Amino acid sequence: MKVLICKTPGEFAYEEQEKPKLKPGCTILKIRQVGICGTDYHAFEGSQPFFQYPRILGHEIAAEVSEINPDSQFKIGELVTISPYQYCGNCIACRYGKTNCCQHMQVCGVHIDGAMTEFFMVPDKYIIKGNGLTADQLVLVEPLAIGAHGVARAGIAKGEFVLVMGAGPIGLGTMNFAQIAGARVIAIDVNQKRLLFCKKKLGIEHIINAVEEDVIARLLEITSGDMPTVVIDCTGNLKAINSAVSYMAHGAKFVLIGLQKEALVISHPEFHKREGTLMSSRNALPEDFKYVMDCIKSGQVQPANYITHRINFADIKGEFTSLTAPGNEVVKAVIEF
């Protein structure tokens, strides 16, 4: 079978490998689609934390069941997706049900090899039945679940002003689920086309271009002087994160979904006087996956809004770098097998 390996930063290579041999408690999947996410871009450019090379990337998948064990709950040919967060089950986080932040987390495509391959063997407990969803829908369940988890962490109340920083795929999903929670969403980004995408595709009420506008003045205007009571970062950009305290209302919550390598530098007096709550949001829980799939089925989330580019697996090595070019206006690119 053919696999695509990220050998070192900036270097992809196709290789032929043996198809995996089925093990007890596992299922072999034939990959149909792999979504490309920020983790993949950062790994390719060499800026992804918790990463070692060489690595097969890819953790957002839609696949069909190819080989099963006799006691399997799956059927040959059925469509599935996966939770790519392989957890130990024994650490304190796992014992408290927080398998999304297991101390010994192994994420497919980051800590262990991922799904940019024709066949992929996965332990059964991480496989999620498609339950009638299409491949286009299933390939977006995992990235949408990250946004859903961040919104759940924030505990948003109906009518709250929620500022989401970053209008990439994770940010868009976060906005979508904040809307479902009843928030009045404010989107901020430096890319005007992305912001217009937010307004057109998701119906986001307020958009702010951080380069062209006075962010604090606009937030004061939108919130009638109160400022947002929830701020969620989906950029992973250090400057954006360090600026965000000044965007918080007194008593607000600041949720970090985006990730970067450096230390946070915030004004303690500014944060302290607000009695702010700072929290991170890592990966997603099984209930987040279920919630996302329910929202897709009910029509509250439309995966077709997100996929803007499709690339054949045979072509991705040559086209990968072009996906980050601003002129290509990529929101979510999907590799098709």
pLDDT digit string, tens, across residues 270-317: 999 999 999 999 999 999 999 999 999 999 999 888 999 999 999 999
Taking the C-alpha atoms of residue 224 and residue 218, their distance in angstroms, rounded to an integer, is 10
For the chain, domain boundaries? 2-140+306-336, 147-280
Mean pLDDT of the region 15-34? 98
Tell me if the pTM is above 0.85.
yes
Q: Decide if 195 contacts 207 (C-beta within 8 A).
A: yes
Q: Give how far the C-alpha of residue 107 lies from the chain's centroid of Cα atoms, to the nearest Å.
A: 13
- The whole-number pLDDT of residue 78 equals 98
CATH, range 2-140+306-336:
3.90.180.10
Taking the C-alpha atoms of residue 303 and residue 298, their distance in angstroms, rounded to an integer, is 12
Taking the C-alpha atoms of residue 152 and residue 8, their distance in angstroms, rounded to an integer, is 36
Q: Decide if 161 contacts 226 (C-beta within 8 A).
A: yes
Phi then psi for residue 197, to 5 deg, are: -60, -45
Mean pLDDT of the region 39-61? 90
Q: Decide if 51 contacts 110 (C-beta within 8 A).
A: yes
Mean pLDDT of the region 71-93? 98
DSSP state of 190: S
- The whole-number pLDDT of residue 288 equals 98
pLDDT, tens only, 308-337: 999 999 999 999 999 988 788 899 999 999
Question: What band does 77 get if pLDDT is binned at 50, 70 and 90?
Answer: very high
User: H/E element holding 125?
Assistant: none
Options 3.30.390.10, 3.40.50.720, 3.40.50.1820, 3.40.50.1390; which CATH number does 147-280 get?
A: 3.40.50.720
